[in-house]
């Protein structure tokens, strides 16, 4: 009797994010979206990240719902006692580049051959910073698509760095940071020197950041395509410029909301997913429940930024003096120096007891979605920016580094979603900005933020730009992995 051939299992994709909180968060959302589309996923993290996920996230139980998903680990090559803090990210990138490549190749080539339940990995989605993944993909003949978890507006500036150098705009001549930049097409009327990524202020063109980021245009066009966590309605004009260098772009963001939207259509409901690398303090949600609507400013500078004691005190005085209610994330490792707690003046402690709440790490997506939150004092990390945009929360930008300086300018000047406090951290300015956002210009910013949130929602619904681009990505993966 003739046996009917068994249908092949679905395509198997390997996802490899940068080992930092922001990229890990957004790539887990992408992994879950692809699982929902029926693909098999191997999610690769460093051993260090895996240990933190096991301690603080619910990734294991979350993904047990998807039999096609597996988590694998790779060494990052750093010594055990290395702090691996975000401010040492260059050491991390260098180590990954020089030490992890052989493990990565071995993992892909030693995979068990196709069995009845799982095919070998035939497609790679890796962070564009991990250029060695493209070398390996080319060596073994597997298609690769890069993913970038920064904003398109910053990526475009990276692409233009060689032009800025050629035009003599970099390094800066003189010290006026308000001079307009002319060599980044599409931004000539508003982008100042101070809005470029912070490393551009260095006079040294051999600076390690400058060397890394000025190769971005070349590097990104090596892959079959580029997945961006953004949406057309937000960054359309800039995306047109990026497409002149990398034509095949999949804008499928905001990823966290894309996943939420897809899951809301499922019959079974899942608990909120967390890929936190720190322990979340959920008591702040109860505190928020007892605050009036839109009365709280949420303050967080993400997973990498560090504050000096002076900056901490200026921010703290400013927040208390503004008389706004505030929920503030002060990560245990975020303040440089130790004994700051004993140096807080009594009136600041009292103002905090009455109107404030401080946590070490918050369930941020849920916080931003809470009706008591009316503003966000943020470093404008790209995930935080998108999370705020999706929930319609206006922002004050106090960027720390890299894309955040650019994002703050676009957020305030182009998207008109709030104020940019860049380069100042003075209690009087903090107080004024908080009052402006939460009281004086509240209506103006809220209206604008609500409109933008609506556009974000539209791009995720059936027929919307991010919805269609995700479908195209899945179709392209299927066609590029056909046996």
Q: In angstroms, what is the minimal distance from the CB of 481 to ligand UDP?
A: 30
Residue 18's Cβ-count burial label (10 Å; 0-12, 13-18, 19+) is buried
Quote the tokens at residue 208.
């390690």
Q: Mark out the alpha helices in 244-345 (DSSP H runs).
A: 255-264, 283-289, 309-321
Residues at the interface with ligand UDP (CB under 6 A):
20-22, 25, 276, 300, 302-304, 329, 361-362, 364-365, 381-384, 387
Residue closer to ligand UDP (CB basis): 24 or 191? 24
Q: Which is nearer to ligand UDP, 22 or 418 (CB)?
A: 22
The nearer residue to ligand UDP, 21 or 291, going by C-beta atoms, is: 21
Long-range contacts of residues 198-203, Cβ cutoff 8 Å, at least 24 apart:
198/399, 198/401, 198/402, 198/405, 199/401, 199/402, 200/164, 200/170, 200/172, 201/172, 201/177, 202/171, 203/171, 203/172
Token pair, residue 410, equals 């676009």
Q: How far apart are CB 19 and ligand UDP at their closest, in Å?
A: 11
Q: Which is nearer to ligand UDP, 21 or 321 (by Cβ)? A: 21
Contact 247, 223 (CB under 8 A): no
Minimum distance, C-beta of residue 203 to ligand UDP, in the bound complex (Å) = 26
- If the CB atoms of residues 20 and 433 are measured against ligand UDP, the closer one turns out to be 20
Q: Kindly tell me the number of DSSP H helices and DSSP E strands found in the chain.
A: 20, 13
Give the shortest CB-375-to-ligand UDP separation in angstroms: 16
The whole-angstrom separation of Cα 422 and Cα 205 is: 24
Q: Which residue is nearest to ligand UDP (CB)?
A: 381
Q: Report the alpha-carbon distance of residue 178 to residue 167 in Å, rounded.
A: 18
Write down the least CB distance from residue 450 to ligand UDP, Å. Answer: 20
Shortest Å, Cβ 276 to ligand UDP: 6
> Could you tell me the smallest distance in angstroms from the CB atom of residue 335 to ligand UDP?
15
Q: Quick one: 89 or 146, whose CB is closer to ligand UDP?
A: 89
Q: Which of 334, 330, 333, 379 is nearest to 356 (CA)?
A: 330
> Distance of CA 468 to CAs 225, 249, 277, 391, 473, Å?
16, 12, 32, 22, 9
CB atoms within 10 A of CB 332: 9
Comparing CB distances to ligand UDP, the nearer of 169 and 391 is: 391
Least Cβ distance, residue 404 to ligand UDP (angstroms): 7
Is 123 or 390 the residue whose CB approaches ligand UDP more closely? 390
Helix (H) or strand (E) holding 134: helix 132-140
């Amino acid at each position: 009797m003739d046996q009917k051939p068994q249908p092949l299992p679905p395509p198997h994709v390997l996802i490899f994010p940068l080992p930092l909180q922001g990229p890990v968060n957004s790539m887990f959302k992408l992994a879950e979206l692809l699982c929902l589309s029926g693909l098999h996923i191997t999610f690769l993290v460093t051993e260090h990240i895996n240990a933190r996920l096991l301690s603080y996230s619910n990734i294991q139980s979350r993904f047990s719902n998807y039999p096609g998903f597996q988590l694998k680990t790779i060494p990052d090559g750093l010594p055990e006692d290395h702090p691996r803090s975000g401010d040492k990210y260059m050491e991390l990138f260098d180590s990954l580049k020089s030490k992890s490549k052989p493990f990565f190749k071995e993992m892909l080539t030693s995979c068990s051959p196709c069995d009845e339940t799982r095919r070998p990995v035939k497609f790679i989605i890796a962070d564009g910073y991990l250029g060695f993944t493209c070398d390996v993909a080319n060596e073994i003949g597997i298609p690769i698509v890069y993913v970038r978890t920064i904003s398109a507006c910053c990526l475009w500036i990276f692409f233009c760095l060689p032009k800025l150098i050629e035009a003599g705009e970099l390094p800066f001549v003189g010290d006026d940071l308000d001079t307009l930049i002319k060599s980044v097409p599409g931004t000539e009327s508003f982008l100042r020197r101070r809005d470029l990524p912070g490393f551009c202020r260095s006079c040294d063109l051999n600076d390690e950041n400058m060397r890394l980021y000025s190769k971005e245009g070349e590097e990104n066009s090596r892959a079959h395509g580029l997945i961006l966590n953004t949406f057309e309605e937000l960054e359309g004009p800039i995306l047109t410029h990026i497409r002149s260098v990398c034509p095949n772009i999949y804008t499928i963001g905001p990823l966290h909301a894309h996943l939420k939207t897809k899951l809301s259509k499922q019959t079974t409901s899942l608990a909120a997913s967390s890929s936190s690398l720190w322990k979340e303090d959920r008591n702040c949600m109860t505190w928020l429940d007892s605050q009036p609507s839109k009365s709280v400013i949420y303050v967080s500078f993400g997973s990498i930024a560090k504050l000096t004691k002076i900056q901490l005190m200026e921010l703290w005085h400013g927040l208390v003096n503004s008389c706004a209610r505030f929920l503030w994330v002060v990560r245990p490792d975020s303040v440089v120096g130790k004994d700051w707690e004993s140096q807080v003046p009594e009136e600041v402690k009292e103002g905090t007891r009455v109107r404030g709440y401080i946590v070490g790490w918050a369930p941020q997506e849920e916080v931003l979605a809470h009706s008591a939150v009316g503003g966000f004092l943020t470093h404008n990390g790209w995930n935080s920016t998108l999370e705020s945009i999706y929930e319609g929360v206006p922002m004050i930008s106090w960027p720390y580094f890299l894309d955040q300086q650019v994002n703050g300018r676009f957020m305030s000047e182009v998207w008109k979603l709030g104020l940019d406090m860049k380069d100042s951290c003075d209690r009087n300015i903090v107080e004024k900005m908080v009052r402006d956002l939460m009281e004086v210009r509240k209506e103006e910013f809220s209206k604008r933020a609500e409109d933008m949130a609506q556009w974000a929602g539209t791009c995720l619904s059936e027929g919307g730009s991010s919805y269609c681009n995700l479908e195209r990505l899945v179709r392209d993966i299927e066609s590029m992995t056909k046996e």
